[in-house]
Amino acid sequence: MRKKRSDRNHVIYAVTAEGQKYIGLTVANGQAYLRSVKVRVQKHISRALKEDKDWFFCQFIRKNPEVVLRYEVLEVVRGRKAAHSRERELIASLSPSLNTF
């Protein structure tokens, strides 16, 4: 069995809608960073509508199903541990209203 790679690129992204922000993290698919974020945001939307998660971002999507979500790449970080650490730093410093703490 192959060992999971830990040195992959990860994309830290922000989703903004109606003045509220969510910060998340996803694995980069090659160099297509924005496309990786788009796929991850679509998964957020699907989970919000099909699963009964009580997370702030899911609640927001369910309450505002027609809202236009604007997403952007904040940083690309190499390595899983470094990416998760940086994501936590950004969440702590930016205090996005749609992240569940």
Domain boundaries, the chain: 9-94
Q: What percent of the chain has pLDDT over 90?
A: 85
What count of other Cβ atoms lies within 10 Å of the Cβ of residue 89?
11
Evaluate whether 15 touches 42 at the Cβ level (below 8 Å).
no
Question: Phi first, then psi: what are they for 36, rounded to 5°?
Answer: -60, -40
pLDDT for residue 3 is more than 80: no
Which of 45, 43, 39 is CA-nearest to residue 61? 45
pLDDT for residue 6 is more than 70: no
Q: Output the pLDDT for position 1.
A: 76
Tell me what the mean pLDDT of segment 27-53 comes to: 94
Question: How many angstroms separate the CA atoms of 73 and 23, rounded?
Answer: 10
pTM: 0.90
